[in-house]
Structure 1
């Protein structure tokens, strides 16, 4: 068999992918949503650059095919190698089955997925090892199945690109990435919106026919398996093409520079666009959402935030009293819903310490989280900025030198640190906080003797708090105030923590146990803190990063955004309930107000204790951006959509009026245009400030 024939699986699938992509471009070119005319040069770019780009993208995508084909061999089934490999597979399967792997540490469906994958690999290897007479037939059907999967994925991607274009008029962007996050909702929408059974029946039929011809033209590879030397040559050729593709793909993407937007989109490769959307984590507000003239948007924002002028949020914050440079410790609690606490109606007694601390604190009873991920909570308390479309600023490339709470404390002569029990590289926290002037204390800085318990997310909260006490004791010796932002980790799946701490075992892996242990660890922290000389001169700010879950009957179920928040500083902050509606991004400007800080602010968040503050809350997913005001939830979404819900309180018996969190959300029959414009003003101006680098820290 010639060397060229040994490449048949690759070039047959490549030709099929190019053919499908060509047909897709033709279909999208004549789609009703493609409302433009194309010059000859546009058409030439679409099909020439598009074709070459498709080839290089498929080279990268076929890496899994290369990996599969390169390991097809008869040699590995010879004695004793075959039996040794099979025993290793069995041992690995039993190890995963034991429940002591990192997959079990994380929890969820990962252990079952890992077990199924290794189990299938073990069973197939065993069949090929112990049934040599049927090896060729088994290998043929496995080869056919792999080819079928590739064909199916190519067709499925084409269908997905078509429907995405049908809805948005573009190739994949961050909305497509977002769909992976909200899989249940997306699948439900597809089931209700499209003829799924005929669609998938047709898909499988076409995939089956295409697979038949591709296998027919490619099975010579398994009929005469390449030798080791031939595989080395195949691999060398593939690596050269792989390296060339890494250079060529962004080169051709840069050629998407036509003034005709549709030309650029049709020329682009959808898979690469998806990759870029995933990596860049942004969604262009000005392309997909309702907008106002820029000066009008800032003018409306100025009615909500006093003292603004021009197209900026820069303003002077002046205090009538002397500044107070107390230490500040901000604790953001992982996945801590308001309804975990007794004052919000919980009867399980899983937050006894925080319930007690609330009676001694300034409690913000009506506060909403900005989003439903940790990075959104970190963004809200650090940048005090509305949750703009796409991923949090924390995970974006342009995330450094921003106007932040840390930059204000730095101006006032504070030491500024971010303390995290896990690895701060997770969720890009290291890059974000270090890039904004914070020193990082994370798991890497712990000595072995400082760790008594850890899981996949990091050390337990007790270990983190013990470390925090040591860090603050050292800082106190420098005769400088400190600002330390502590992020907890224990209230996160798999909800494991040290045994014999609370009445729920640490290996029970229960949400209630995670909540109660988090509360227990915080109690221990404050018991230690009260013994330190710096305690009396410290303000403690305690707030959740987001709720434990975000699923609901509407795009933004408001009860899934209600979080506990309080400020504790005996002798300085008087215990009381602040009951006005507010947002997570208002927390730190309010702390600055309590400390009488004078500073130039760019924050969208405000000091809610000021009389000019107008109650509202900003909540969002990656693409649905909401404003709660006047008992109305306004949501703006891609495709320039706006929707409004009337919020009607559904009181829970035995719960104080200030702590009621459940609302019926009923679509508003008559549009409140003023609230839609206010919603647009918040999110449009925030997007503008970030896009045009107007939210950098003050020089």
Structure 2
């Protein structure tokens, strides 16, 4: 059970009043009983100095890739859409050929990593630019997630109309509480679907949600910011018809659902092109997290496990950036600063977000699993296991000592800072 079971309004006080007081008291006590940071490696001042040095820039500027300061923005968060199924990211060939067609006219960021390995953490990293907290998941704690900054909150200030679409049940992992707490004016999930459309284990197949989304946007007032979270490319990797790669193995099931989602994304765009709002709309495609499939390799500590696509597409994208690639190393958390800079809006409230189109920004990423974390840049990477209290992965294997220390200190400082901000309820 979580508060999403009873949340129903965009007005926080109404949602708070709907909670059972006894349940809330016990829940809060249990959560607050664990108030120690297990990632203490430096003094608070030392950790902050290291983190600040990573995100500071000599000049606050941006390369403009959008020729419109007030475009509609449609954000697709694609379930488990690992780089390993995207040929342009050195993934398997022909698994997502339709996504490759979209890439031909889009701007592809080739070195983007997810913050962690779960959807609940991916949503927070993308929309609130707050990295994963390891064993904790801030989206499940309302007294904390409500204080996070978010992209929809900032765009509402800029008079954008906002919506969130999901073919599953948004009560899952407390998604609904987060969505309603962060200025999404309209939430459409499986609760609003007809029973005949809820034919997958998780709710509705992606093509059903895509069609509902198109119908909604055709009536939406511009400018709008709309987020759609897909779900078909999730275990058990089932489809309403025979998959492109069959279903004899879990690897082929994963390839089939990846193919299916990319195909219907491509069809979605072809339908959208016929609508009047399309010419003023930027589409952003990003995965919620990476995956061990389809290659069935890359242990949880391997940075390749977190490698995902980030693609910007649409008519407002300047012609000189279409079909181009950006090799800067970044994270899901960097979407906020990058997007807001293109819209001439401030992103200072997003402490862990850097503008990928600022040539002065440092090129790096940070990833977290249950009890470990890693750091990566163009020279290499390192992963550290807190339980074992040792480094368990480096690339290159014979990493130089000064580079090793740089990666380890950066990873430790980021993990300490993120977790402490989570405990202190301070995110800006």
- Residue 522 (structure 1) shift: 0.9
1:463 to 205, 208, 211: 208
Tell whether 2:291 aligns with 1:545. no
Tell whether 2:223 aligns with 1:491. no
**Aligned residue in 2 for 1:295:** 45
**Aligned residue in 2 for 1:445:** 192
- Alpha-carbon contact 1:373-1:546 (below 8 Å) kept: yes
Q: 1:393, 1:647 → 2: CA distance?
A: 31
- Residue 644 (structure 1) shift: 6.4
Q: 1:622, 1:283 → 2: CA distance?
A: 16
Tell whether 2:268 aligns with 1:511. no
**Aligned residue in 2 for 1:481:** 223
Residue by residue over 1:39-62, the C-alpha shift from the partner in whole angstroms, topping out at 9 and shown as x without a partner, is: xxxxxxxxxxxxxxxxxxxxxxxx
**Aligned residue in 2 for 1:677:** 409
Tell whether 2:375 aligns with 1:620. no
Aligned residue runs from structure 1 range 86-101, under 5 A: none
Q: 1:282, 1:414 → 2: CA distance?
A: 40
Q: 2:215, 2:361 → 1: CA distance?
A: 38
- How many corresponding residue pairs? 394
Q: 2:349, 2:336 → 1: CA distance?
A: 12
Tell whether 2:268 aligns with 1:536. no
Residue by residue over 1:537-591, the C-alpha shift from the partner in whole angstroms, topping out at 9 and shown as x without a partner, is: 1110001111232875755112211111110023524221001211121123212
**Aligned residue in 2 for 1:330:** 75
Q: Structure 2 regions of 5+ residues with no counterpart?
A: 1-21
Tell whether 2:351 aligns with 1:603. yes
- Alpha-carbon contact 1:498-1:506 (below 8 Å) kept: no
Tell whether 2:116 aligns with 1:368. no
DSSP-derived class of the 1:459 partner: coil
Residue by residue over 1:252-286, the C-alpha shift from the partner in whole angstroms, topping out at 9 and shown as x without a partner, is: x98xxxxxxxxxxxxxxxxxxxxx5xxx4997562
- Residue 639 (structure 1) shift: 5.7
- Alpha-carbon contact 1:555-1:624 (below 8 Å) kept: no
* Distance change (3 Å), C-alpha of 1:290 and 1:494: same
**Aligned residue in 1 for 2:13:** none
- Residue 680 (structure 1) shift: 2.4
DSSP-derived class of the 2:285 partner: strand
- Alpha-carbon contact 1:379-1:392 (below 8 Å) kept: no
**Aligned residue in 2 for 1:203:** none
Higher relative contact order (CA 8 A, sep 6+): 2
**Aligned residue in 1 for 2:155:** 409
Tell whether 2:422 aligns with 1:690. yes
Q: Normalising by structure 1, what TM-score?
A: 0.52
Residue by residue over 1:602-649, the C-alpha shift from the partner in whole angstroms, topping out at 9 and shown as x without a partner, is: 33111111022111111111210211135343334436934264314x
Tell whether 2:342 aligns with 1:594. yes
Q: 2:340, 2:164 → 1: CA distance?
A: 18
Q: Which has the larger radius of gyration?
A: 1
Aligned residue runs from structure 1 range 660-675, under 5 A: 666=397, 668=399, 670=401, 672-675=404-407
DSSP-derived class of the 1:580 partner: strand
Q: Normalising by structure 2, what TM-score?
A: 0.82
- Residue 318 (structure 1) shift: 7.1
DSSP-derived class of the 1:533 partner: coil
- Residue 403 (structure 1) shift: 0.6
Q: 1:436, 1:690 → 2: CA distance?
A: 17
Residue by residue over 1:205-239, the C-alpha shift from the partner in whole angstroms, topping out at 9 and shown as x without a partner, is: xxxxxxxxxxxxxxxxxxxxxxxxxxxxxxxxxxx
* Distance change (3 Å), C-alpha of 1:425 and 1:317: farther
**CA RMSD, aligned part only?**
3.3
DSSP-derived class of the 1:458 partner: coil
Q: Structure 1 regions of 5+ residues with no counterpart?
A: 1-245, 255-275, 309-315, 649-665
Q: 1:335, 1:622 → 2: CA distance?
A: 18
Tell whether 2:144 aligns with 1:394. no
Tell whether 2:84 aligns with 1:339. yes
2:177 to 431, 448, 473: 431
Q: 1:593, 1:282 → 2: CA distance?
A: 39
Residue by residue over 1:66-115, the C-alpha shift from the partner in whole angstroms, topping out at 9 and shown as x without a partner, is: xxxxxxxxxxxxxxxxxxxxxxxxxxxxxxxxxxxxxxxxxxxxxxxxxx
- Alpha-carbon contact 2:86-2:96 (below 8 Å) kept: yes
- Residue 328 (structure 1) shift: 0.6
* Distance change (3 Å), C-alpha of 1:520 and 1:452: farther
- Alpha-carbon contact 2:79-2:289 (below 8 Å) kept: yes
- Alpha-carbon contact 2:202-2:231 (below 8 Å) kept: yes
